[in-house]
Structures are given as C-alpha cells and as structure tokens.
Amino acid sequence: MCVCSRFAKTRSRLLLAGCLLSWQTAGHALDLLDGDFQLHGFASLTLVTTTDNNFFGQSDNQISKDFSEVGVNASWRLTPALQLSGGLLSRRAGGTDDGGVRLDYGLIDWAPMSSEEGRAGIRVGRIKTAYGLYNTTRDVPFTRPSIILPQSIYFERTRNLTVSADGAEVYVERFGEGGTLSASFAYGQPQTDTEAAKVPLVGLDRPGKLDSKLAPDLQILYEGAGNRYRLAFTALRLDLKYQPGYRDILQAGRFRLTPLIFSAQYNAENWSLTSEYALRRTSITDFGPYFYNGTFDGQSYYVQGTYRLTPQWEALLRYDAFYADQNDRDGKDFAAATRLPGFTRFAKDWTVGLRFDVTPQFMLRAEAHFVDGTGFLAAQDNPNPQALRRYWDNFMLQASFRF
C-alpha cells in the first residue's frame, strides 16, 4: 500500500518532469493561440548540509538531496477582462513534503472594470495567499531573493496554512502618477488536511484532525516611482479547530493566528534593500493539560540587502530574527513549563548568499546560514527536541531552471 502510493507519487513526479522537458525541447515557453495561451514552468534541485540539526531531510553532517521543486502553469486569456490560470506543483522538502503533485492554484480572474486610471476585479478558485512581498510565488526559485525565504516570516514548517486558499479575492488597483496603489481582500478555505499542516501546530503522531474556518486576508500595496519603492501591509486571520482522534490525549482545542505584516523595499539600479516585520498574535486554548495553552505575541523581522555585482552575479546579506513569544524571547518560561529547550522558541539567522544567472533560464545559487536557535525547524526532520543543538550552520547549493 505504502509502496504503491510511493510508486504513484514517483510516477506523477516523473510525468511532470517529463512534460517539462518535452516542452523545453519544443522551444522556449510555449505560446499558442497567438500568445493568448501561455505555458511556463520551473524545476530546482538543492543540496543541503548542516553542522547540527536537520533541515530539509537528513542534513546533519551529511548531504541531503531532499529539497526539490517542479512546477508547471498555464494561463489562457479569453478576453481582455477574463483569464483562466492554473499551476501544478511537486515539492519535496525532507519530512514535510513528499513530492506529490498538487494543484498550487487554479482560478478564473475577471476584471470587469478597467480604464487608464485603474482596474478592479475578482478571482475565484484556489488563490495564492497574499502575505508579505514574496508569498504568492514562494516556491518559484527565480522570484526569491535567496534559496530559502527568510524563515521568520515565510516558515517552511507552517507553509501549508498560508500557501493558497479556496475561495474568492476582490482586488482594486489605481495607476497614479506617483505609483500604483493596490488592495486585495480574499476570503477562503486554507489547506489544513495534511500532516504537514497539522504537525507544526499540534506535534507528531496526533490522531486527530484540524479544521479551519474561512480565513480573511487583506493586503494593501503601494509601488512607487516605477517600483523603486514597494510598501505593503498584510493582515491575515486563521481560526483552526482540533478534532481529537481515538484515545487522543489532546482535547478539542482551538488555534487563532493573526499575523500582521509590514513590508518595505527600496530598489536601486544595482541594489535592493528589503525589510519585513510581522507581529503574530497566537491564541491556543482548550487543548487540556497535556498541551501548551496560552496567548502570546510572536515577533519576526528581517533586513536584507542584495547587490548586483555584474548583470549575472548577485550577492545577498540578511539578518533574520524570529521570537515565538516576545515576552519570553529566550524561551525560559516555555522551558520551565514544558521541559523542552528554550531555544526552540527563537531563531536568529545571519545569511550570506550568491546568485549566478548562467542564462536567463538557468540559475545557480549558494547560501550559508549561521543560526542561533531552532525556532523554525520542522519536527518531522527533528523528532527529538532534546537532541537539537542551539547553534548550527546550514549550507545550501541550488540549481534551477525555468521556461
């Protein structure tokens, strides 16, 4: 049974990769129907090694190849006001993602109002969640500033809750002399039906399941002076219920997560400076005596600079900090209450990276992370919290290709 499903997954992955390759050999991105139909995709492979702890597979003092991304998407513009789009994604990421092919997004976008000054419309279907500056294309290597996004804001661990949602999104854009002001409001069902969504919230080997209420997501974005300035505010609300399973030690608890994100970016010709700050209120109630209940405010931020050395080479420097509870930054109170290490409640990550665009289609990246704390590590790759090490380094190499 297990072998069967593994075989099916490998087969679907191969199929996706095969499609990607055959499209590539047919030329570059395929444009049919006079350019109104477009097909694009990407693939990446990453090697990871860490001095301690595991990140994306068994990486502790060995090389993990368990991080790869393959995606294809199609879009069809039926009329100027109407576009259909869909994207498939296969992602392997250590114990958190197995490479099964899934619908990343699939939507109909209708913009009935459009003029020289702006446009307004609605998207219906599975919609990428607007969350900070990078989330909507978080799995596309070419759109990221680094191999992995700053984990304080874009956790790989809890990504499933914010990757996309099934519902509707209304949007308004105004094209002004100074810049473009956009606002979007989405209301949709987040994806909570996977182990990957459940484990970071309730832990490993829990028999119950998570249900989510429809989640509202608001983003306001100002892009000024030809995208030199990009300023954004995002507010998201997740309300999740745990349904205990057979002989569960947990009771029917509730998570309410309300991240607020402030984003700012300045783009000069050869360098960019980006910073995002998130205040994350988390309320955990009704799980009973065998769980860490409480309400606390998490805090996350990063400051990131990129510099284009030549048209093909770009360097990155970033400081990224995450605190699960800003009133217990070092995790001492948590450690006293749970006997788990306090350093699992924060992570401070200095990152340096290098990007080499061999061609516009082919990119190589190298990256080093020097980390204090394990706040963003996944339990699936690190099942024993007592075996975690507070100080650890992470080195990654990535090759990616797109069409």
Q: Which is nearer to another protein, 205 or 269 (CB)?
A: 269
Told to check if 27 binds another protein by CB under 8 A, we report no
| Closest C-alpha to 70, from 46, 94, 54 | 46
Q: DSSP per residue over 111-149, as a string?
A: EEEEETTEEEEEEEEEEEPP-TTTGGGTT-GGGSSSSS-
The least distance separating another protein from the CB of residue 105, rounded to whole angstroms, comes to 5
Told to check if 187 binds another protein by CB under 8 A, we report no
The least distance separating another protein from the CB of residue 225, rounded to whole angstroms, comes to 8
Told to check if 81 binds another protein by CB under 8 A, we report yes
For 233, other C-beta atoms within 10 Å of its C-beta total 15
| Closest C-alpha to 355, from 159, 111, 146 | 146
Q: Which is nearer to another protein, 86 or 305 (CB)?
A: 86
Told to check if 361 binds another protein by CB under 8 A, we report no
Phi and psi dihedrals of 36, rounded to 5?
-80, -15
Told to check if 116 binds another protein by CB under 8 A, we report yes
Told to check if 244 binds another protein by CB under 8 A, we report no
Tell me which stretch binds another protein (CB under 8 A): 82-90, 279-287, 337-345, 362-370.
82-90
d(CA 258, CA 235): 7
Identify the three-state secondary structure at position 11.
Answer: helix
Residue 102 is encoded by which pair of tokens?
A: 């899934």
Q: Which is nearer to another protein, 174 or 329 (CB)?
A: 174
Near another protein by CB under 8 A: residue from 75, 189, 194, 258: 75
Per-residue b or e along 74-90, where b marks 16 or more CB atoms closer than 10 Å to that residue's CB: bbebeeeeebebbbbbb
d(CA 185, CA 236): 10
Tell me which stretch binds another protein (CB under 8 A): 50-58, 150-158, 200-208, 221-229.
221-229
Told to check if 88 binds another protein by CB under 8 A, we report no
Q: What is the DSSP letter of 10?
A: H
The residues pairing with 295 across neighbouring beta strands, listed in sequence order, are 283
Site string for another protein, 276-305 (x = CB under 8 A): ------------------------------
Chain residues that interact with another protein, rule: CB under 8 A: 29, 31, 35-36, 38, 40, 42, 71, 73, 75, 77, 79-81, 83, 85-87, 105-107, 109, 111, 114-117, 119, 123, 127-128, 136-137, 140, 142-143, 173, 175-177, 180, 225-228, 267, 269, 308, 311, 360
